[in-house]
Amino acid sequence: MVKNRIARTLYFLVVSLFLLGVYSCEKDIENVGVDLVNNGRFQVGDTVFEVVAYTINVDSSRVDNNEVLGQPGYLIGVNNNQNFGYLKSNLVTQFRLPSLGVNFGDNAIIDMVVLDIPYYSTRDTIQYAKDPLTGEEIKDSDGNPIVAPSFSLDSIYGNKDLPYQIRISELGTFLNVLDPENPTQPKKYYSNRDYTVLDELFYGEFKPNRNDTVLYVERRYLDGDPSTVNDIDTIKTETANPSIKFELNKDFFKTRFVDQDDSPFFDNFENFVRYFKGIYIESIGPDGSLMNLPITNGGMTIYYTFEEIKDESTGEDLNYNGVTGETDVLVKTKSSMKFDIGGARSGVYQRDYSSSPAGMAMSTPNKVEGESTLYVQGAAGSEAIIQLFTEESLEDLRSQGLLINEANLTFYVDDIKQSGKLPSRLFLYNYTENSVLRDLRLDGFDVFDGSLSYDSDGNPEKYKFRITRFVSRILSESGYSDAKLALKTYHRTDDPFTNLDTLVADYSWIPKGVTLNGNLPQLSDKRLKLEIFYSK
């Protein structure tokens, strides 16, 4: 018992001495800090550094889907933008075989071949159904208007009401998934690549249509007389979302598909994509709209009629001969077969910057003094280069022994020169090393930022980036003197937390663009400049 009391007493004394020591140390540290500040040895401040910024052209973007973590969007259409000039985008894609294989049956005749590609759309309200030919409201048997869902189309840029032409052709170039020269690596396709096209499958006028929700397939071969319509199939998805529907050349598919269904071309995917390499969708016209489309949800469906022997039930006339209830009659049965869009896909961007402000800025950029306006656009468009320091200014800054508390670059929107939708986020990266900045990798987008912010009136105002770690690195590493950054439109493939890569991916498929104030004139309070908050 006595030993226990002595042990508890000694424990109490040791703990008390330890706490007293900690308190004394804290007082000492606190007093040291007060002395530093009071003696003027610790200073804080902020300063503005002039930078040099100009616009460069991006020759091409990667647009294939051959990497699991690099799945781009797919762009179709044409647009002529007053700031960025003319852009048209074409699409190439393969198809997958049906899961049940290919067997069209006996003596198959094609009723219709349709390429169906959905829009990005949002169901917003309702509307009254109208006859697509007359435009008149459709009413039910009681004379009441029929209510139909209403959708708004998303991810469309430019003039939705201006029609242009679409040409769809058989693709003559085989699309590889793996690089033939190095089969361990995926094949890369860029937006400036040329492709061979073969037979034309469709040519016609097109403009986006939010009411394109239903397909009507006329069945003309059920009675053997193609001059009469025996039945009409109404094809509509469960969600009734709108989609683009191109009617393709059925004679081509009769010869190349139906008449070949017993051949080895349809035995497996590899045989199939070497036999039918895919399609090339070309946009044609001086102006219109560009559309990002979820084409992986699309496909090509062959609607056809084939022959088979059946027994008719009582009152049933399957062969349309006017006699019911017959046995062993030759019946023409309607059917369909869908080939989903799949395999390798890519795109082609064609630009004309003639006389556009962006084109002139890229043709003769002032890399010494910088520019008053910067042009940033996606889809193999343009980026801004920012030179933070000269060698002289960098050495002067290093000699001051600054501790960087915060460093910011703020790009103000040029509200005079805007045209079209602005990017909701821009992406700043290390141009010299083509790498993601440590500020983003360690601090995340919440701190790094880059999102479009608005002024008190709700107008687009600026994009701000915090690059404290990058500037601190420049000051601390004497051998690091090339402080070039690049500003581009943001795409999901730029997210280092998703793609787990420090290198910046070269995918780009969103044609949104923005004009920004550059580093000139120096009298402007909204010019581009580097703001540094520091401690000495």
Whether 168 is in a domain gets the answer yes
Task: Convert 314-373 into a string of H (helix), E (strand) and C (coil).
Answer: CCCCCCCCCCCCCCCEEEEEEEEEEEEEEEEEEEEEEEECCCCHHHHHHHCCCCCCCCCE
Looking at residue 4, its pLDDT comes to 44
Place of tokens 């800025």: 361
Q: Please indicate, yes or no, whether residues 213 and 302 belong to a single structural domain of this protein.
A: yes
> Domain of 505?
45-61+353-535
What is the tens place of the pLDDT at every residue in 308-344? Answer: 898 888 888 888 888 888 888 888 899 999 999 999 9
Residue type, 235: I
Radius of gyration of the chain (CA): 33
Is the pLDDT reported for residue 21 higher than 50? no
Question: CA 285, CA 203: separation in Å to the nearest integer?
Answer: 13
**For the chain, how many residues are written?**
536
pLDDT, greater one: 421 or 205 = 205
Find the distance separating the first CA and the last CA of the chain, reported in whole Å.
Answer: 61
In which region does residue 54 sit, left (phi positive, over 0), alpha (psi from -120 to 50) or beta (all else)? Answer: beta
- Asked if the structure places residue 127 within a domain, the reply is no
Indicate the residue among 291, 323, 350 that finishes a domain.
350
Tell me: do 324 and 435 sit in the same domain. no
pLDDT exceeds 70 at position 132: no
User: For residue 38, is it within any domain?
Assistant: no
Q: Write down the pLDDT at residue 197.
A: 98
456 three-class SS? coil
pLDDT in tens, 276-311: 999 999 999 999 999 999 999 999 999 999 998 988
The answer to whether residue 385 scores a pLDDT higher than 80 is: yes
pLDDT > 80? residue 39:
no
* 408 and 282, same domain (yes or no): no
Residues 257 and 272: their CA atoms lie apart, in Å, by: 10
Distance between CA atoms of 318 and 323, rounded to whole angstroms? 9
Q: What is this structure's pTM?
A: 0.85
Q: What percent of the chain has pLDDT over 90?
A: 67
**Average pLDDT, integer, range 361-378:** 96
pLDDT recorded at residue 15? 41
Q: How many domains does the chain have?
A: 2
Give the end of a domain, one of 312, 327, 350.
Answer: 350
Q: H or E stretch including 474?
A: helix 468-476
Beta bridge mates, 460: 454
**Cis preceding linkage at 72, omega within 30:** no
| Same domain as 207, residue 248 | yes
CB atoms within 10 A of CB 195: 18
- 362 and 320 fall within a common domain: no
* Mean of pLDDT over the chain: 88
pLDDT band at 478 (very low <50, low <70, confident <90, very high): confident
53 shares a domain with 89: no
C-beta of residue 341 within 8 angstroms of C-beta of residue 65: no
Judge if 369 and 492 occupy the same domain. yes
**pLDDT tens-digit readout, 446-474:** 999 999 999 999 999 999 999 999 999 99
pLDDT in tens, 509-532: 999 999 999 999 988 999 999 999
User: What is the β-pairing status of strands 106-118 and 299-310?
Assistant: antiparallel
Give the residue from 482, 496, 384, 387 showing the smallest Cα distance to 437: 496
Judgement on whether residues 374 and 515 belong to the same structural domain of the protein: yes
